Structure 1
Amino acid sequence: MRALVLTGPGEAEVQEVEPPVAGPGEVVVDVERAGVCGTDVELFTGHMSYLRTGRSWYPLRPGHEWCGRVTAVGEGVDGGWLGRRVTGDTMLGCGRCGRCRAGHHHVCADLAEIGISRGRAGALAERLAVPAAALHRLPESVDPALGALAEPGGNALRAVRAAALDPGERLLVLGTGTIGLLVALFARAHGIDVHLMGRDEAGLRLAAELGFTGAWTRASLPSLPWHAVVDAANSPELPALAVDLVEPARRVVYIGLAATPSRLDTRDLVLKDVTAVGILGGSAGLSGAIAAYASGSVDARPLVAATVGLAETADVLAGRRPAAAAPKIHVDPRR
């Protein structure tokens, strides 16, 4: 089968590789759609920290935002999965440790991540092997674009839940990339008054097109009581700004990651009695994201700028992407 392979920093090519076989407890999925994520770009450029710590290595087959149809099941797997449209959890814990047993498999010490770490092949390929325990069924009403947005949607939904806001309260989202816009969409579906702050004019325009009248730059941001702030950007200055902007005794949620360390004065947290929450992975939000897509309460499809073929993916990773305001590029590996 064809798969995208990262062979070194800045090097990627489509190769003919052996197709996956469903081992015990696994299924094989024919991939319908896969998203290109900032993590994939970091793995391509060589800037991903996992490459320095030994958690990831080349050659590497990326892709962790995906959907498809089950075409084979391994030993011990319910045959009812055959033919089902599915997506899946990126985070694969050992299933045995205290963290996994407590429902925190996404921070398991032996965590493997599909398309990211510990040699687990990803979904930028025609087929993918996945543990059946990681699968989530997709209703037929959830099309491939939404199916491949389930993983980032799960992340965004977890951030909204962590903000702990009631309907009508005011949320400020820092960042107008895929995660920032998804946070805004899920928060609005919960009845929250959503505002966004960004520096990318295209992202701010898209936010306005999505119906968010409160789309601001730092210079134009109004002085309003922000009942929660979600940092969904990649600037090392924004974590401290989030604490500065949020109302005392409220919450800041950190889901964005900067390329360099951020500085945050914990005295500001203490003196404002602010709760800071970090979000890693969409595991606990996948079911909710899929349900929101299926019900129509969240339509994230306008976030997809284009769908390209597997052969064009290396160009996308290198920054040569179709010109569009929308932040997300999808790949159809069947092309």
Structure 2
Amino acid sequence: MTVVQALVLTGPGQAEVRAVPAPVAADGEVVIDVHRVGVCGTDVELFTGDMSYLQSGITSYPIRPGHEWAGEVTAVGLGVDPAWLGRKVTGDTMIGCGHCERCALGRHHVCAERHELGIRGGMAGALAERLALPVRALHALPDTMDATLGAMVEPGGNALRCVEAARTGPGDRILVLGTGTIGLLVALFARARGAEVHLVGRQNNDLELARALGFANAWTREVLPARAWHAVVDATNAPTMPALALDLVEPGGRIVYIGLAGAPSTIDTRELAFRDVTAVGILGGSAGLDGAIAAYADGSVDPRQLVAATVALTGAADVLRGNRPPGAGPGPKIHIDPRT
């Protein structure tokens, strides 16, 4: 039996690299050699045991995580166009059933029976040397796109959906709460569309990378100027921030919620109604993946500075424990190369 190396979460705070059976392309599937994987906050919560799916029983250990990835197709199953062989690809995290009304309407990311790669439904994730995936979830990458950019497509798709939901463009002023990967990507995509971008971080140290990326309007909450914020994006995990977003947005403006707090957060819906504010929730980057690929390919958005380091698969557990690799840059994202 052919085996590959994969990261397996066996319980809260427990992770190890194991030899597992190599994936085989079933009907309608491909097998990908994985070149790069991003470690996400969701992966960390799966590792710590804090992820809500674990509390609700939707997900249980053992888990093979990893959903931000890039690689190359090396095998195809029955019914798959062989032209996929050798293609650089990334893929959707949300794998709908393909048959329900939501899937038919293009809302497979909220399909009640969906799998989430490396997160939900037992589908083995990308923190492994090889990955099997339905071909309908694949997104082709340009030959010129490297693995670093490819593995940033999934978070980029989430960020692009936020910017589209905020409906910001030239002349608009957007406030982004949070300077992690998603917050900075939202800022990059919003700037590419001509908006005036401001960011809020917890402390000055959190703002250094934002300023290095050219965002001079980076503030802590204490010094945030009073402005008319046409849109506010909450990309934090703090339960107090959704209400703050509502306090700050202009009447008639839009709030986009993508950050998920570990505890319930509340807003006063009376204020939402009285001020005619539109609030939008974002789950997953599915509808934004192609747009993110296009923006990376044409250079209008370049997320490379967000990647602090790339380490081997054997270093993944240490990253999940919150340890930054020696020599890591200032970016919030750590990448894993499963081939090393």
Task: Tell whether the 8 Å contact from 1:203 to 1:326 is kept in structure 2 after alignment.
Answer: no
Equivalence map 1:60-139=2 (5 Å): 60-139=63-142
Q: Would you say 1:295 and 2:294 are equivalent positions?
A: no
Q: In structure 2, what is the equivalent of residue 327 of structure 1? A: 332
Which is worse superposed, 316-325 or 247-256?
316-325
Q: Would you say 1:260 and 2:263 are equivalent positions?
A: yes
The alpha carbon displacement at 1:263 in A equals 1.5
Task: Tell whether the 8 Å contact from 1:202 to 1:325 is kept in structure 2 after alignment.
Answer: no
For the residue of structure 1 that corresponds to 2:214, the secondary structure is coil
Q: What's the CA shift string for 1:43-73, capped at 9, x where partnerless?
A: 0001111112221111110000000000000
For the residue of structure 2 that corresponds to 1:2, the secondary structure is strand
Structure 2 counterpart of 1:43, one-letter code:
L
Distance 1:157 1:16 in 2: 36
The alpha carbon displacement at 1:22 in A equals 0.3
Q: What's the CA shift string for 1:188-232, capped at 9, x where partnerless?
A: 000111000011433300000000010000011000110100000
Partner residue of 1:236 out of 239, 258, 273? 239
Q: In structure 2, what is the equivalent of residue 310 of structure 1? A: 313
The alpha carbon displacement at 1:308 in A equals 0.4
Task: Tell whether the 8 Å contact from 1:67 to 1:87 is kept in structure 2 after alignment.
Answer: yes
Partner residue of 1:56 out of 54, 59, 83? 59
Q: Would you say 1:282 and 2:264 are equivalent positions?
A: no
- Structure 1 vs Structure 2 CA RMSD: 0.8
Q: In structure 2, what is the equivalent of residue 165 of structure 1? A: 168
For the residue of structure 2 that corresponds to 1:62, the secondary structure is coil
Partner residue of 1:143 out of 146, 149, 155? 146
Q: In structure 2, what is the equivalent of residue 215 of structure 1? A: 218
Distance 2:6 2:204 in 1: 35
Q: What's the CA shift string for 1:249-302, capped at 9, x where partnerless?
A: 110000001111101110110111100000000000000000000000000000
Q: How does the TM-score come out when normalised to structure 2?
A: 0.97
Aligned length: 335
Q: How does the TM-score come out when normalised to structure 1?
A: 0.99
For the residue of structure 2 that corresponds to 1:286, the secondary structure is helix
Structure 1 counterpart of 2:97, one-letter code:
C
Task: Tell whether the 8 Å contact from 1:67 to 1:147 is kept in structure 2 after alignment.
Answer: yes
Distance 2:188 2:205 in 1: 17
Structure 1 counterpart of 2:215, one-letter code:
F
Q: In structure 1, what is the equivalent of residue 33 of structure 2? A: 30
Q: In structure 2, what is the equivalent of residue 152 of structure 1? A: 155
Distance 2:308 2:246 in 1: 32
**Identity rate of aligned residues, in percent?**
69
Task: Tell whether the 8 Å contact from 2:12 to 2:49 is kept in structure 1 after alignment.
Answer: yes
Distance 1:167 1:137 in 2: 30
Distance 2:203 2:79 in 1: 49
Structure 1 counterpart of 2:219, one-letter code:
W
For the residue of structure 1 that corresponds to 2:21, the secondary structure is coil
Task: Tell whether the 8 Å contact from 2:168 to 2:193 is kept in structure 1 after alignment.
Answer: no
For the residue of structure 1 that corresponds to 2:59, the secondary structure is coil
The alpha carbon displacement at 1:167 in A equals 1.1
Task: Tell whether the 8 Å contact from 1:172 to 1:195 is kept in structure 2 after alignment.
Answer: yes
For the residue of structure 2 that corresponds to 1:154, the secondary structure is helix
Task: Tell whether the 8 Å contact from 2:307 to 2:329 is kept in structure 1 after alignment.
Answer: no
The alpha carbon displacement at 1:23 in A equals 0.3
Partner residue of 2:196 out of 193, 196, 201? 193
Which is worse superposed, 323-332 or 7-16?
323-332
For the residue of structure 1 that corresponds to 2:26, the secondary structure is coil
Q: In structure 2, what is the equivalent of residue 43 of structure 1? A: 46
Residues 200 and 120 from structure 1, CA distance in 2 versus in 1: closer, same or farther, beyond 3 angstroms?
farther
Gaps of 5+ in 1: none
For the residue of structure 1 that corresponds to 2:222, the secondary structure is coil
Structure 2 counterpart of 1:142, one-letter code:
M
Distance 2:94 2:177 in 1: 26
Structure 2 counterpart of 1:328, one-letter code:
K
Q: Would you say 1:250 and 2:253 are equivalent positions?
A: yes
The alpha carbon displacement at 1:142 in A equals 1.5
Which is worse superposed, 51-60 or 27-36?
51-60
Structure 2 counterpart of 1:237, one-letter code:
T
Task: Tell whether the 8 Å contact from 2:204 to 2:219 is kept in structure 1 after alignment.
Answer: no
Gaps of 5+ in 2: none
Q: Would you say 1:204 and 2:207 are equivalent positions?
A: yes
